[in-house]
Structure 1
Amino acid sequence: MNGKSVVLIDDSEDYTTLLKSKLKREGFTVKVFHQSEEAFQFVLRNHSEIDLIIIDLMMPKLSGLEFLSTLKDHKEKPKFKICVLSGKNDLLEIEAAFKLGASEYFLKSENIDVLAEKIYEFMEIVNHPSPDQSKEFISLLEITNVIHDFQLVKYDENNVTFYSREELPIHSTIQINSEKLKKYKKTAKPINCIVDNCEILDEKVLITCQYLD
């Protein structure tokens, strides 16, 4: 555990589920809010115990910029760091967020693993958990992302279904290095597939793929 406390504010339940799950595995404690007004009251009450706030700029009612503006007007200067999430690379909006106290921004399109690494760098955490070195893995070829803890559900001559700890983009190309699947396909090489469907179930993600080989 790295002992860092994160407040995550975003109205997208799917996104917060994925990011919270990733950060918890990396040792953070995470409090999620889907309403920025509720989050603001929590921050005022618990500001001394918070290390990082991550807030989406596009929030209903109280937007991310309005949240930061109201927070800046508060008498007590916070000690925590603030990152903003943006679905688009709007430089004017990001610049406005920086002027209101944010010191980093992340694009929501960024891969979750990459985002976690940026958070470690931003928080100046030197020692963080090393990745699982399991021989079985899934590699997302387009962005060289590797997933170690996956679980095969079923497979046949056309498709393979598995649980993953992360969402994979539809139509993305992956390689599955599974001894069980390689034995079934009678090959010693990882299996090339294309993602057909991605369904979020609680803290798991159910992926269905079609073989390319």
Structure 2
Amino acid sequence: MKESKISVLIADDNKEFCNILNDYLLSQRDIVVTGIAKDGLEALKLIEEKQPDLVVLDIIMPHLDGLGVLERINSLGLEKTPRVIVLSAVGQDKITQRAITLGADYYVVKPFDMDVFTERIRQMFNSTISEEPTNSKPTISVVEGSKSED
């Protein structure tokens, strides 16, 4: 039986962050990065073209922000709607709630631990990469890195 890889699209305007995340995800045996978008409009185009399993979506991007991308994903008429992990440097409750309402599966506050992040990805798709019985209830969580007190 061929093990399928989780296809991921990264959408973030921070080129350095995209490169770090791309390199890390590419080192994983069960994840493949199918595209990187630098703004929301490019993200929508790549979502339509590549039809990834997962979109890692930054909230603050030029041309169209992450919330705008979430609003438009549902109107694309895709065969399969991708799962979405929203990234943000801010953990504001209103933004978090809006992202979840618009269909985000997880909301992750930067900086975050890459190992925990990839584990969350695997948990989202564990029915395709694990033979263990799963609890199929949708899960929403916030992964936070260490914060400094200002």
Please indicate, yes or no, whether the TM-score normalized by the shorter chain is above 0.5: yes
Contact preservation (8 Å) 1:6, 1:29: yes
What per-residue deviation string (whole Å, max 9, x for no partner) do you get for residues 22-42 of structure 1? 111113111211122112112
Confirm or deny: 8 A CA contact 2:48 2:78 kept in the other structure.
Answer: no
Aligned residue number for residue 96 of structure 2: 94
TM-score, with length taken from structure 1: 0.54
Structure with larger Rg: 1
Please give the per-residue CA displacement for 1:46-93, whole angstroms capped at 9, x wherever unaligned. Answer: 32xx11011000111200001111222334463321110011111110
- The residue correspondences of 1:171-190 to structure 2 (distance < 5 A) are none
The 4+ residue runs of structure 1 with deviation greater than 6 A are none
Tell me by how many angstroms 1:2 deviates: 4.9
1:126 deviates by: 3.2
Q: Is the 8 A contact 2:40 2:68 kept in 1?
A: no
Equivalent in the alignment of 1:67: 69
Q: Contact (CA 8 Å) 1:10, 1:56: kept in 2 or not?
A: yes
More strand by share: 1
CA contact (8 A) 1:68 1:101 kept: yes
Measured in 2, the distance between the counterparts of 1:53 and 1:74 equals: 14
Structure 1 portions without partners, runs of 5+:
128-142, 144-213
Map of 1:146 onto structure 2: none
1:37 is aligned, of 23, 27, 41, to 41
Determine the C-alpha separation between the residues in 2 that align with 1:14 and 1:112.
Answer: 15
- Residues 22 and 116 of structure 1 are in contact (CA less than 8 Å); yes or no, is this contact kept in structure 2? no
Sequence identity of aligned pairs in percent?
25
Q: Which has the higher helix share?
A: 2
Q: Which has the higher contact order (CA 8 A, sep 6+)?
A: 2
RMSD: 2.0
Count of matched residue pairs:
126
